[in-house]
Copies of this chain bind each other. A is one copy, B any other.
Amino acid sequence: MRSPLTLGKSRIEALSDGVFAIAMTLLVLKLEVPEVMHHSSNEAMLQQLLAMGPAFATYVVTFLIAGGFWFLQHLTYHFVRHTTGVFIWITLLFLMLVALLPFSAGLMGHLLIHPVSQLFYFANQLAIALLLNAQWLYARRKGLLDADDPDQIERLTFRIAGTAAVFAACLIIAAFLPFWSWTPIPVFLAAAAIVEARK
């Protein structure tokens, strides 16, 4: 059996940065400029902007979640020395789900508290988190990592697994209490901050 081809990581990083940049920027296309007239009063126009509240909230939250996934992927690639075909295909599946975010966010911005839009949205986030874990596990098992900082690698393993756990929790809560589905995210961030500060 031939030895597998060893590939650099610069191109898959460039494709990832491109897909993330576009998916994050396309979110803004879900914010439609309100149809107002030139003679609209300031009050009427402000009301229209305020009515876009759920869409703005979805934009901000989705952009920051996507930024978080980009940051975690950036961290995993920081430790990866080189890539292989399988590793790149896991990343392509990961990017396919990242590129779906503008659709999930559009559904959510349209119907913020509806159970179906929440389930779709958090299932998308959970699938992204699971593929990030799959990619990280694969890289660790196949020895693709620079192993000279085991402490940081351990820490990243917990952060990635924790992210998947959080979105699984959001998904479960969304099925029963859609209004409270967001709560695991700030709880996790606060807990992570406390753990970090203690060390």
Contact = CB atoms under 8 A, between A and B. Distances in A.
Interface of A: 1-2, 5, 7-8, 11-15, 17-31, 33-34, 36, 38, 40, 42, 45-46, 49, 59-60, 63-64, 67, 70-71, 74-75, 77-78, 85, 88-89, 92, 95-96, 99-100, 102-103, 106-107, 110-111, 114-117, 120, 151-152, 155, 197, 199
B22 A25 contact: yes
A21 B28 contact: no
A2 B199 contact: yes
Contacts of A114: 36, 38, 40, 45
Number of copies: 4
A186 to B, nearest CB: 15
A151 B17 contact: no
Contacts of A22: 18, 21-22, 25-26
B18 A20 contact: yes
A52 to B, nearest CB: 10
Residue picked from A22, A49, A95, most chain B C-beta under 10 Å = A22
A111 B36 CA distance: 8
B2 A74 contact: no
A15 B17 contact: yes
B67 A92 contact: yes
Contacts of A36: 110-111, 114
- Counting chain B CB atoms within 10 Å of each CB, which of A22, A25, A74, A107 scores highest? A25
A96 B64 contact: yes
A39 B127 CA distance: 28
